[in-house]
Amino acid sequence: MESSPVSSDSDPEVELPKYIEHLKKKEKKPKRQASLHHAMEKLLDQDLSVSQIRRLKDSHFKAMDISMGIQMKLQDNVKPYKRKFKEI
């Protein structure tokens, strides 16, 4: 597997479990919730931050056995979540 991208200093770090829990609350299907939990475990094993998720390539997700649908959900929701997180 390729080395993971390094996070930018300009991005505030957001705790990954909180981000995944936010996504799980919005998801109604138990199978998708379980897939998000699985993805969280894999991402935590790689010591990845929420900021780094957006920059990961498809090959990184594939190597971690994270489906394309979950990958898209994880990557597409980073900006809106971080915007909301800054407002709190």
Residue spans of the domains in the chain: they are 16-87
* pLDDT tens-digit series, residues 2-45: 444 444 433 334 589 999 999 999 999 999 999 999 999 999 99
d(CA 67, CA 13): 24
Threshold 0.85, pTM exceeds: no
Average pLDDT over residues 44-60: 91
Q: What are phi and psi for residue 87, nearest 5 degrees?
A: -75, -25
C-beta of residue 33 within 8 angstroms of C-beta of residue 25: no
DSSP letter, residue 66: -
DSSP letter, residue 11: S
